[in-house]
């Protein structure tokens, strides 16, 4: 759902890098980091409202008024990193440029390494055609490990995710789930050997974890939380991190139960975070949404989890122009199904496409202040 949005931004940033010439240098970590505070830090995905370079620059400027951080969720260049972590990589250059742009706007970065398709968590993203699509594959494990260690060595992230919404994949492929879990524990140990202060996590899709998706392949009972899919990663979860798009489960934000997120508080004493989420402000496909629903969604998370959140990522600041994205996506060979899925999130922003605020933006800013 999200990674495809981001690739537009990546293309633009790559263009910037090529225009600048040479290899960009990652800015040094600020002496006073937002992560040093005990307060929740707030941010968005770097997803511009339109697929243009100008839109990317404006997006980062707008972020500086409404956010502290940016979350980069990148796929893995599988073949590049098969043999080594020390390779020339255009993607690493892309990330460096995003660090530069973020730093220019007083923003810091959280990274998530993402092996799966952001528009379909039941499949790998960009895997070579001749590779077996599972986490038992030695090539998959080697590339995942090498790329992750390169991110650690190059960028020294304070927070690093090793997959996004992994429970969706685990539900679909329970036999392969144990292979990912073992890979996570192996890579976690290697990260800690080099960077013991890096906080490592994996994200879990909250609606799916609670059996609230229509057609859930696990066939679970609604609200019987599948805690085992989280706890199998212990003791190597430095914090528990979820995503939540409750408009896929409820017709309005006011229907979100008062105890919807609170089970997390008693299940773990570790820090919590929201790595992505939102509520549509318009009717889209089978889903319902109004601007007030975004307000109700923000208030639900804040009232139920606010005191325990380390960071909170809302998906996008601005609604985006789906026509602009669709044109670029089709040029990249993305199918109509993925384009249509992306369209479900076009109106999740806290501002309209033209930048005018929706009521939820004032609520978001009040929490951040």
Residues in the chain: 369
The continuous run of DSSP H or E covering 188 comes out as helix 174-194
Burial 134-151 (b: 16+ CB within 10 A, else e): ebebebbbbbbbbbbbbb
- DSSP line for 220-262: PPTT---THHHHTTTTS-SSEEEEE-GGGT-SSGGGS-TTSST
Total number of domains constituting the chain = 1
Q: What is the pLDDT of residue 4?
A: 38
Task: Give pLDDT, residue 316.
Answer: 96
Q: What is the model's pTM?
A: 0.91
CATH label of the domain that carries residue 178: 3.20.20.80
pLDDT tens-digit series, residues 143-167: 999 999 999 999 999 999 999 999 9
Residue 15 pLDDT exceeds 60? no
pLDDT band at 108 (very low <50, low <70, confident <90, very high): very high
**Position 70 pLDDT exceeds 70:** yes
Range of the domain at 198: 3-368
pLDDT (tens digit, 9 = 90+) per residue, 210-249? 999 765 556 689 999 999 999 999 999 999 999 999 999 9
Phi-psi region of 279 (alpha: psi -120 to 50; beta: other; left: phi over 0): beta
pLDDT tops 90 at residue 136: yes
């Amino acid at each position: 759902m999200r990674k495809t949005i981001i690739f537009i931004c990546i293309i633009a940033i790559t263009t910037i890098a090529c225009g600048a010439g040479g290899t960009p240098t990652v800015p040094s970590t600020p002496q006073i980091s937002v992560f040093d505070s005990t307060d929740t830090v707030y941010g968005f995905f770097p997803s511009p409202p339109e697929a243009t370079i100008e839109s990317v620059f404006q997006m980062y400027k707008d972020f500086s008024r409404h956010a502290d951080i940016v979350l980069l969720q990148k796929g893995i260049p599988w073949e590049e990193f098969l043999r080594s972590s020390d390779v020339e990589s255009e993607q690493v250059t892309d990330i460096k440029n995003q660090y530069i742009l973020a730093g220019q706007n007083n923003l810091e970065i959280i990274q998530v390494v993402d092996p799966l398709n952001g528009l379909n968590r039941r499949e790998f993203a960009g895997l070579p055609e001749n590779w077996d699509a599972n986490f038992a594959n030695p090539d998959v494990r080697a590339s995942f490990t090498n790329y992750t260690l390169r991110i650690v060595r190059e960028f020294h992230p304070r927070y690093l995710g090793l997959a996004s919404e992994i429970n969706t994949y685990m539900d679909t492929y329970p036999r392969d789930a144990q292979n990912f879990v073992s890979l996570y524990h192996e890579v976690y140990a290697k990260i800690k050997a080099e960077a013991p202060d890096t906080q490592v996590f994996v994200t879990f899709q909250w609606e799916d974890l609670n059996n609230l998706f229509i057609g859930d392949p696990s066939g679970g009972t609604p609200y019987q939380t599948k805690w085992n899919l989280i706890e199998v990663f212990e003791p190597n979860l430095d914090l528990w991190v979820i995503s939540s798009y409750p408009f896929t489960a409820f017709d309005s934000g006011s229907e979100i139960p008062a105890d919807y997120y609170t089970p997390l508080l008693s299940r773990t004493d570790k820090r919590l975070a929201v790595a992505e989420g939102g509520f549509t402000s318009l009717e889209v496909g089978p889903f319902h949404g109004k601007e007030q629903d975004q307000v109700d969604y923000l208030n639900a998370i804040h009232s139920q989890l606010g005191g325990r959140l380390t960071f909170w990522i809302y998906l996008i600041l601005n609604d985006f122009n789906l026509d602009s994205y669709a044109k670029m996506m089709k040029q990249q060979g993305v199918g109509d199904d993925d384009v249509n899925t992306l369209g479900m999130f076009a109106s999740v922003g806290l501002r309209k496409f033209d930048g005018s605020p929706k009521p939820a933006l004032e609520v978001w800013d009040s929490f951040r202040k």
